[in-house]
Chain A
Amino acid sequence: MYDFTYAKPANIADAVKTLAADAEAKALAGGMTFIPVLKQRLNKPSTVVDLSALGLNYIKLEGGKLIVGAMTPHGTVAASPEVKKALPALAELAGNIGDRQVRYRGTIGGSLANNDPSACYPAAVLALGATIKTNTRTIAADDYFQGMFTTALNPDEIITEVHFPLPEKAAYAKFANPASRYAMVGVFVAKFASGVRVAITGAGQNGVFRHAAFEAALSKSFTPDALNGITTPVDEMNADIHGSAPYRAHLVGVMAKRAVAAAG
């Protein structure tokens, strides 16, 4: 790891100021992605800005929405009675990210800022049509994810909270990469009065994406069988030593059915 200056600002304004002051300054949330990257010397920040004192660790229900502060750890979301009641699929998802130790520290904000193509939260945020609130603006999920490790965030912008609309039904089905246990394929389905949204993580070449064909079919009939015969384009799938593109395309269908079944 290269050395850097460590800063732990006490409010958002100071944090933004520190980040803006230096192009090489970087935010630190749970560190579950960032610290391994630093250890491999793949990143050389001048200043590391710890966001843990900004008061962004909270969960609340407001105006029919579930609001999760950016610094809320996965484990807190998983265990939260509010989340379990209002949006159990999200608690379930959070409870299966990484391992117990990762969940104590890794945060929703860090996961979304990082936008790892095999991360779990992006699927929930996109399928639920959530809104990402930053220190300057709100960004709709459909505009936020812009391909692997790429988002609409500006370099010195900080995610502050995520607003989730509450669906009638929702579920997440994850097929874990056997080695890393990240999502090799993760499918989040969310049924609203207005229709069904389906987001796929892990599988696509361009990170998380919505599955229009699944959405159309499920909006007509929210049953696993409604997905019979609907395929996922193989040439848009990722391929690596853990699975070919056809395998991933197939798993997208299997996990989607399982998610619909779990949503009930």
Chain B
Amino acid sequence: MVVDGIGASVKRKEDLRFLSGRGNYVDDMNRPGQAYGHFLRSDVPHGKLNKVDISAALKKPGVIAIYTGDDFAAVGGVPCGWQIHSKDGSPMVEPRHPVLAAGKVRHVGDPIALVVAETKQQAKDAAEAIILDIESLPAVANLTAALAPNAALVHDEAKGNICFDWHIGDKAAVEAGFAKAHKIVRLDLTNNRLVPNAMEPRAAIGDYDVSSGEYTLYTTSQNPHVIRLLMGAFVLGIPEHKLRVVAPDVGGGFGSKIFHYAEEAALTWAAAKVKRPIKWTADRTEAFITDAHGRDHISVAELALDAEGHFLALKVDTQANMGAYLSTFAPSVPTYLSATLLAGVYKTAAIYAEVKAVFTNTVPVDAYRGAGRPEATFLLERIVDVAAREMNMDRVEIRKKNFIPKDAFPYQTPIALQYDSGDYLATFDGALKAADYAGFEARRKAAAAKGKLRGIGISTYVEACGIAPSAVAGALGARAGLYEVANIRVHPTGSVTVFTGAHSHGQGHETTFAQLVSEQLGVPHDMIDIVHGDTGKVPFGMGTYGSRSLSVGGSAMVKAMDKIIDKGKKIAAHLMEADVHDIEFKDGKFSVVGTDKAKSFGEIALTAYVPHNYPIEELEPGLEETAFYDPKNFTYPGGCHICEVEIDPDTGVTQVINFTAVDDVGRVINPMIVEGQVQGGVAQGIGQALLEHAIYDESGQLLSGSMMDYTMPRADNIPNIFVGTETTLCTHNPLGSKGVGEVGAIGSPPAVINAVVDALRDYGVRHVDMPATAAKIWSLIDANQPKMAAE
């Protein structure tokens, strides 16, 4: 038995270095001869960039070079990795995204010049001496303004500021459903715009080796190979063999570090010009106006029900803010990552969704933890609660009535996806029990006695992750494959190095991946190293996002280890003079079935590298295998989250009292890490539901542009979070794992808002948009006082 294999709460390997201050984040690195870069950015939301006069700035102390948009005219624009087609078949409008602003600035934070100097402060000093001539233009700072008739255009080629106008589903079937409905429930919702705020700000060092002509980019990225591909092939025209991208320890990503950012290209390019490494580290204030934001959708949803409360049809019309330019995966978020999830855990017979993607004079918007699926889940779970109330049905009953039953899998939804496995009743009942749902009314009464309004909210969800079968992704518009790669190198003495394309920035892969190796090859943890985040070491990879590392990256490892074992069996058969079919590999030993003849894994490894007695005619020496794993389907984690809140009616403050999450994430490799992932996601979901909001004023200035105004969840905003699991296995990957990175952020926001609306049930409140801040809740209470008094 392997004690620290699959299913054990193994303590994390990476913790020792993080806890003793020996992590290696990009800003911790310094290259010999390094200079510093600083980006001068637009403080005008929309304007004509008439002139950038750098002459005075060039004379400032320490300045090495200054580059502007003109210098980048000959290189490519920052590319978008996903193409969507509109209803009429036309491709999305894809305006050029220059590395440094050219001709126009389109959002506050748009980079205008890169100043390279001996020190960071000198670069900043010099940037102040650059004279800008910007002619301010009217700006469109939100979806409504951008879609208004005669609105100012962010890009001339995007008429009406529309990037694409897309749809999915069977419109006729939905209309038929509506025609026979007993009731149609309509809900208008906003999914609030968020700033990811990983605690490590983005940073990068561009480096160029004059003698070899090789470029190296050290960057805070979740997927260095993707950056190499996008930047090398599309922006700078550097072939892969001359470009190395290193993403060392990364201090959180949550999506915001997936994308290829202009700064990476600018620094890499400039390093070759000045022939010195150039380092840049974002200030938090800079991060607020340059890291891709998340969410920002406005939707109208309509649900048709029959008299018993069965969901007949769902129609959704969404406007999605893309910001000023298309970030790497932006077009996929409101479309294939969101609309396709609108069936949720329910048997809804017909679904039709339309999505308009819109340019605005704001920071680009892209995937943030959950990416599209939190938006779909919020919409569904809110409208189900509203429907229950308007049908006079119990919230639990209406859900149970509509769940996809566990014997219906594989289940084809009416909106593209085929769910492989799940048991929604099991997670639902598990959560109701763990949250003591039955005992809630007593707690409501007790709270009322203290003058508090207590509410409970339920949300159920399914999400699609383990992104993604390459052929499917390609058909849907992805411009890359979405397989994962693992290279397993067994060393002569039997220790193992795994080179994986997945990237760890908090997920603990160095531990869970070692558990997979330990389980499959029987090698102890101290003999296993996981290497990731360096295109110079790892053959290829697609990185970590969409909760894909274990289900896709782990599966690639399993495949590579299968190959190792196959080869090991051949060597063992030779050594023990047995037929290869009689060799069994178990607990780290190759043995001849039915005999006591056995060879240890280490002996086989040594033989492979010291092939004195070896089937050299049939088999190459060495023990190293690479596998590409392309998933056969998405994976579908699901579950139920229950939130209990108390509202202080005098101030409107909502406190989350209890939070229960029971999730089905498929096979659990490390329960401790799974719990931590869920808790972290839930905290972000509570943040979205109650606290966080990126707010632009009409003119396009970001009002919540620092942590003084953007409310980050702190320890006293978050309760203890109970995490349970109910497992059904993924049917199409070798591990049976589904993914856990995003479930917390997907399931939790509607649970919180459903609880808030429940707490306010006596005030006639039908819906509250996020974030349900104290001010917002108080104004609802205040506005509805008389009504309650009259009742």
**A-side interface residues toward B, CB under 8 Å?**
1-3, 40-41, 175, 178-180, 240-244, 246-247, 250-251, 254
Chain A residue with minimal CB distance to B710?
Answer: A179
8 Å CB contact of A254 from B121, B285, B651, B712: B651
Residues of B near A243 (CB, < 8 A) are 774-775
* B305-336 contacts to A (CB < 8 Å): none
Residues of A near B708 (CB, < 8 A) are 179-180
B709 at the interface (CB under 8 A from A): yes
Contact B650 A254 (CB under 8 A): yes
Contact B691 A250 (CB under 8 A): no
Give Cα distance in the complex from A175 to B778, angstroms: 14
Contact B779 A244 (CB under 8 A): yes
CB distance from A231 to the nearest CB of B (A): 13
Contact A250 B774 (CB under 8 A): no
A sample of 9 inter-chain contacts (CB < 8 A) reads: A41-B128, A178-B773, A179-B708, A179-B709, A180-B709, A241-B709, A247-B652, A247-B778, A247-B779
Given known contacts A178-B774, A179-B710, A250 and B782 CB-to-CB distance under 8 angstroms: yes
8 Å CB contact of B707 from A179, A251, A254: A179
Chain A residue with minimal CB distance to B283?
Answer: A39
B704 at the interface (CB under 8 A from A): yes
Give Cα distance in the complex from A243 to B711, angstroms: 13
Given known contacts A180-B708, A241-B704, A250-B782, A40 and B285 CB-to-CB distance under 8 angstroms: yes
CB distance from A237 to the nearest CB of B (A): 12
**What 18 new A-B contacts, CB under 8 Å, besides A241-B704, A243-B774?**
A1-B121, A41-B128, A178-B774, A179-B708, A179-B710, A180-B708, A240-B703, A241-B703, A241-B709, A242-B775, A243-B775, A244-B775, A246-B779, A246-B782, A247-B778, A247-B779, A250-B782, A251-B651
CB distance from B119 to the nearest CB of A (A): 11
Residues of A near B773 (CB, < 8 A) are 178, 242
Residues of B near A180 (CB, < 8 A) are 707-709
CB distance from B708 to the nearest CB of A (A): 4
CB distance from B331 to the nearest CB of A (A): 30
Contact A178 B691 (CB under 8 A): yes
Chain B residue with minimal CB distance to A180?
Answer: B708
B151 at the interface (CB under 8 A from A): no
Contact B775 A179 (CB under 8 A): no
The 10 closest A-B pairs by CB, nearest first: A179-B711, A243-B775, A180-B708, A178-B711, A254-B650, A247-B775, A241-B703, A179-B709, A241-B695, A247-B778
Chain A residue with minimal CB distance to B695?
Answer: A241
Give Cα distance in the complex from A1 to B122, angstroms: 10
B183 at the interface (CB under 8 A from A): no
Give Cα distance in the complex from A243 to B540, angstroms: 50
Chain A residue with minimal CB distance to B713?
Answer: A178
Residues of B near A242 (CB, < 8 A) are 709, 773, 775
B186 at the interface (CB under 8 A from A): no
CB distance from B654 to the nearest CB of A (A): 11
- Chain B 277-291 per-residue mask, 1 if CB under 8 angstroms from chain A, else 0: 000000001000000
* B629-682 contacts to A (CB < 8 Å): 650-652
Residues of A near B651 (CB, < 8 A) are 175, 251, 254
- Chain B 769-791 per-residue mask, 1 if CB under 8 angstroms from chain A, else 0: 00001110011001000000000
CB distance from B20 to the nearest CB of A (A): 22
Chain A residue with minimal CB distance to B779?
Answer: A247
- Chain B 2-43 per-residue mask, 1 if CB under 8 angstroms from chain A, else 0: 000000000000000000000000000000000000000000
CB distance from A247 to the nearest CB of B (A): 5
B124 at the interface (CB under 8 A from A): yes
- Chain B 402-423 per-residue mask, 1 if CB under 8 angstroms from chain A, else 0: 0000000000000000000000
CB distance from A257 to the nearest CB of B (A): 8
Give Cα distance in the complex from A241 to B128, angstroms: 30
* B744-788 contacts to A (CB < 8 Å): 773-775, 778-779, 782
- Chain B 113-149 per-residue mask, 1 if CB under 8 angstroms from chain A, else 0: 0000000010011001000000000000000000000
Residues of B near A179 (CB, < 8 A) are 691, 704, 707-712
Residues of B near A178 (CB, < 8 A) are 691, 711, 773-774
